[in-house]
Structure 1
């Protein structure tokens, strides 16, 4: 069992104990342990009970439960609680703004035990009549339900890639060639179908092989002799396995990767990309080419410029290609450092030194720490005294490095309700840079949200605007903002915009990257990392950056160490002038 799996089970146990009004002391014990262990870097499954009780927030009783989870893979007490809880009540916890107490009230007072009944109660005005709810809460619940329904059957980019790779690893044991295609190959941020192409000259035998594979559940109603559709056990997203002979696979991989609006683009020859790809060519000659050369030949025959897989969404890529080359697109290798990261000083799992050391292993030349600020008490945000202590630690670490690596002193400063940052100028002046982000009071009108961000952008200490809409993909819709006004203001005040590379966010949306570049706004691919693995999330940021046409020249953290040091120094000098 991984740490996250153990913590999830403890957290769910605490939540259900509260739902069923179990002993308050024991309930808090589970909740406290889950909260503290979420930050732990210890291998929980391999610790004895005596070792576990030495960890923050873990008592003897919970230590025993952790050992039970590690040894059996489940928790008997949780199993009993789940048996008492309708599955629809568990679904209600997915509604943003519905805590345990509100869910219990809805269940006990209105008898609501599923999302459908919850929606009907909201539409009938019953929720607003409950004490402690009101019309505003009812409206938020209905909006959250609508959002969840729209996201049903989808997974994030990271989970889609994981599923696709799991499937490919299994399928290559049985087939000569298997290729990941569709939305996963073009790096869609949300995926509703994980698609792979399988090379076979015998589709009947291939289907028999697929039928015998474990964990694959076919939906025969939507399948056909050449297309297997269904699901991988444990995942809600649809899986598509398409069967093609060798001579068709490359062309079909091109067709299946691109979105339909992209395929319908017509080139100089008067034919669409789709028509061109479907036209018979010299199969023998094509068989000698690498996949990229096959795809380039399709674009060339259509009279269109070659477009990389990530950008094959619509006609945007062709407009972009009028003034750019594919080799200008940012790559992982172009990144020289990382600027939005958290450590154990706030809510991260690794020390500043540990995060910096891993960055050096990755070949990066600078690491920017941007722990949470004082308003974020829920994330152990830093008050002014702890800011000074952290900065002293960074000075000591920097003294141990040579000239090829540096830790920059940053902060993720909360944008308060009125748009101000939550430190005074004297503290803000001590940082090398400031990431300004909204974390609280997320329910805002477009006018309120835009005004709030504009004031933060106007603050001379704001270096980077963090996750501009606050969205959580498939979980929480971002607050509405006037993107053009925000980007224009960033251009005026020379504020960098973050592409938050966490696959949970990917915010700013890739569709606004081109406009930002046109206005001269730099974009920073920031992982928002809370542990070592989180630093690798910059791969997702690179993917959506490329999708939006981001060039290395407009990528803030593609600056070299010397260039970044010079940029930040000159910015501080402008503030003091």
Structure 2
């Protein structure tokens, strides 16, 4: 088992221990071990009991548990706790805002043992009557449960990607790459996927459908399938999958019609025709030819959303979308100085190995005590290490930044003299997230107006499929960034992807540059850059408006110039 799977099981164990009111010291031993594993870069998969005990925070009993996990995927104490716990309470433990202590009250006082029973108790007002709950807590539970229900069967693009790639490899090998195409939401690189759609070009549809029925990677749903359409799921994720068959002469047409949104296809072109009607009126040798004959510049699949792309394509003004090779450095990353898994040196050396020219380190600020935020002494220590590493790693450069918490009143964490010591500042909200739109927007705008804010971090604070972001007036926030020369982050973490791609084009129209940042808390986090890139491309982001296409010397000059302007 990898470290993430191990910590996930240890967290479940500690939650169940708290639910059953096990000795607090024993619970602390689990939470201490979880923290140590999260901070460590040492794989636990093949370590002996003795080697595990050499890791700080892991004692003899936890080492035995990890050995059991590596052998069987579970451990005896967890199984004992599970036998004492109603199965439905495991689902209740996933609800945001409900910890084991409150769940214990719900279980013992209202006999709630499932999410269904919890929702009924909330709707009848019984939960609000419990001591320590109240109407506000009851409403937040209902909202959290409705949010969970609305996201059933949905996956992050990044979660779906490995399974989709594996499927396409098998299909391409078996039937030929020229006969298979991905379409739908996945082909347009949407951030959330609930259906994978594939087109199979064949003049023998029945034979093709039969050949798909016993593939290991997919599970067939006979009831909903037909002689021309295979329906089922990707087995690993239980993600819905549809494979359409079509004759070879319809293959290009099917790609055009099934990849684009309805809004894109209904867009008017010449002669009062919609684009979709035009596609149906002729035959084309390629998708590029189809758009050319429609009098349009070729529109990449990720742009076929029915937003701004048709009008730009009519005038041959579609941007040349930014590519991974354009990115020269990565900003907004964390190290062991706060809550990262790898040291500053490790983060820098790995970044350099990946071919980047610079790394922007921006650990959490002092108010973020939950994430090991840097007090002023730790800031000085980190900046001293950065100077030393820069001498050693030159011409590669580490820029000294901080992810400064935006406080409740919109001000930034740290006194002005500390803010002035950084090369750049990512300003982000991490606390008091239950704001209305007016308060959240005003809080962000005040931070944007602070001269030390270089980049606005993950503007809505959303965690996709886990929690909605605080509501903001995107237009007002983007306008404020334009007025104050503040870059907006596209946070590339697959859970965030924030700024949302639907607002990228507006930011570009207002002249606001965007920075694709991984928010990496470990070395592997750098690989999330490609998901931020997909978000930028969906919104029409070009090289010129991408902040971190600047070279090391260019971005250094930018930071220096900005700091000099503050002094004036």
Q: Same fold, TM exceeding 0.5?
A: yes
Aligned equivalent of 2:90: 90
Aligned equivalent of 2:199: 197
Aligned equivalent of 1:434: 425
Contact in 1 for aligned 2:324/2:530 (Cα 8 Å): yes
Cα 1:85–1:304 change in 2 (3 A) is farther
Deviations 1:325-376 (A, max 9, x none): 4453211111111111011111111122222222222221111000011111
Cα 1:229–1:361 change in 2 (3 A) is same
Distance 1:279 1:225 in 2: 26
Aligned equivalent of 2:124: 124
Cα drift, residue 541 of structure 1: 0.8
Find the partner of 1:419 among 395, 403, 410.
410
Deviations 1:253-280 (A, max 9, x none): 2322211211222321443333333345
Unpaired runs of 5+ residues, structure 1, are 287-293
Contact in 1 for aligned 2:296/2:316 (Cα 8 Å): no
Find the partner of 2:296 among 293, 298, 304.
304
Aligned equivalent of 1:250: 252
Aligned equivalent of 1:332: 324
Distance 2:174 2:16 in 1: 44
1:393 partnered with 2:385: yes
Cα drift, residue 79 of structure 1: 3.1
Cα 1:243–1:37 change in 2 (3 A) is same
Deviations 1:430-474 (A, max 9, x none): 100000101111111111111111111111111111001100001
Distance 2:268 2:276 in 1: 9
Contact in 2 for aligned 1:456/1:462 (Cα 8 Å): yes
Distance 2:492 2:231 in 1: 31
Structure 1-normalised TM-score?
0.94
Aligned equivalent of 1:43: 43
Aligned equivalent of 1:289: none
1:565 partnered with 2:528: no
Q: Which aligned segments of 4 or more residues in structure 1 are displaced greater than 6 angstroms?
A: none
Contact in 2 for aligned 1:231/1:239 (Cα 8 Å): yes
Using the TM superposition, name which of 190-199 and 462-471 deviates more.
190-199
Deviations 1:114-137 (A, max 9, x none): 222222221211111110011111
What SS class does the counterpart of residue 339 from structure 1 fall into?
A: strand
Distance 1:31 1:365 in 2: 38
What SS class does the counterpart of residue 564 from structure 1 fall into?
A: helix
Aligned equivalent of 1:290: none
Find the partner of 1:186 among 179, 188, 196.
188
Cα drift, residue 171 of structure 1: 3.1
Aligned equivalent of 2:78: 78
Aligned equivalent of 2:102: 102
Aligned equivalent of 2:483: 492
Cα 1:105–1:541 change in 2 (3 A) is same
Deviations 1:66-92 (A, max 9, x none): 111112223233234334433432222
Contact in 1 for aligned 2:335/2:342 (Cα 8 Å): yes
Using the TM superposition, name which of 500-509 and 446-455 deviates more.
446-455
Contact in 2 for aligned 1:164/1:195 (Cα 8 Å): no
What SS class does the counterpart of residue 511 from structure 1 fall into?
A: helix
Find the partner of 2:504 among 513, 518, 521.
513
1:384 partnered with 2:386: no
Find the partner of 2:532 among 530, 541, 544.
541
1:214 partnered with 2:216: yes
What SS class does the counterpart of residue 370 from structure 1 fall into?
A: strand
Contact in 2 for aligned 1:180/1:195 (Cα 8 Å): yes
Distance 1:323 1:456 in 2: 38
Aligned equivalent of 1:147: 147
Cα 1:37–1:444 change in 2 (3 A) is same
Cα drift, residue 181 of structure 1: 2.3
Q: What is the CA RMSD across the aligned residues, in angstroms?
A: 1.9
Count of aligned pairs between the two proteins: 566
Aligned equivalent of 2:138: 138
Distance 1:354 1:251 in 2: 50
Contact in 1 for aligned 2:492/2:530 (Cα 8 Å): yes
Distance 1:488 1:453 in 2: 12
Find the partner of 1:468 among 459, 470, 482.
459
Contact in 2 for aligned 1:355/1:531 (Cα 8 Å): yes
Deviations 1:121-155 (A, max 9, x none): 21211111110011111111111122222222111
Contact in 2 for aligned 1:338/1:526 (Cα 8 Å): yes
Cα 1:384–1:322 change in 2 (3 A) is farther
Cα 1:39–1:570 change in 2 (3 A) is same
Cα drift, residue 320 of structure 1: 4.1
What SS class does the counterpart of residue 44 from structure 1 fall into?
A: coil
Distance 1:362 1:248 in 2: 42
What SS class does the counterpart of residue 201 from structure 1 fall into?
A: coil
Unpaired runs of 5+ residues, structure 2, are none
Deviations 1:91-119 (A, max 9, x none): 22222111111122222211222222222
Contact in 1 for aligned 2:167/2:217 (Cα 8 Å): no
Aligned equivalent of 2:518: 527
Find the partner of 1:357 among 331, 349, 353.
349
1:553 partnered with 2:550: no
Cα drift, residue 223 of structure 1: 2.0
Aligned equivalent of 1:291: none
What SS class does the counterpart of residue 363 from structure 2 fall into?
A: coil
Cα 1:279–1:323 change in 2 (3 A) is closer
Contact in 2 for aligned 1:272/1:302 (Cα 8 Å): no
Distance 1:300 1:322 in 2: 10
